[in-house]
Amino acid sequence: MKAEKIRDLGDHELAVHVADVEDRLFRLRFQMSMGQTDGLKKYHELKKDRARMLTVQRERELAQQKQEAAQRGQA
């Protein structure tokens, strides 16, 4: 999933997607531990997608904190 598409998602949708990706990663890790290495490429791709999603979530958290701090400074 592209970063631009991730940024277009709402906070709730983003959290749902992160949970879904973490579930799929768990299932792929389990399959790979059983000797099925077919999902290795997909595993790496999902890890990168999860990292992008978590980065966008953190950016939003920091922006919100910065905005709140600015509001407190003006009050």
Q: The domain spanning residue 34 has which CATH number? A: 1.10.287
Domain span including residue 20: 3-74
| Predicted structure pTM score | 0.83
Q: Which residues contact 57 (CB under 8 A, 6 or more apart)?
A: 11, 14, 15, 18
Number of domains in the chain: 1
Taking residue 43's Cβ as centre, other Cβ atoms within 10 Å add up to 18
Residues 9-37 as b/e (b if ≥16 CB within 10 A, e otherwise) read eeeeebeebbeebeebbeebeebeeeeee
Mean pLDDT of each 10-residue bin along the chain, 75 residues long: 89 95 94 82 94 95 93 81
Please report the pLDDT score of residue 49 as a whole number: 96
Dihedrals phi, psi of 21, to nearest 5 degrees:
-65, -40
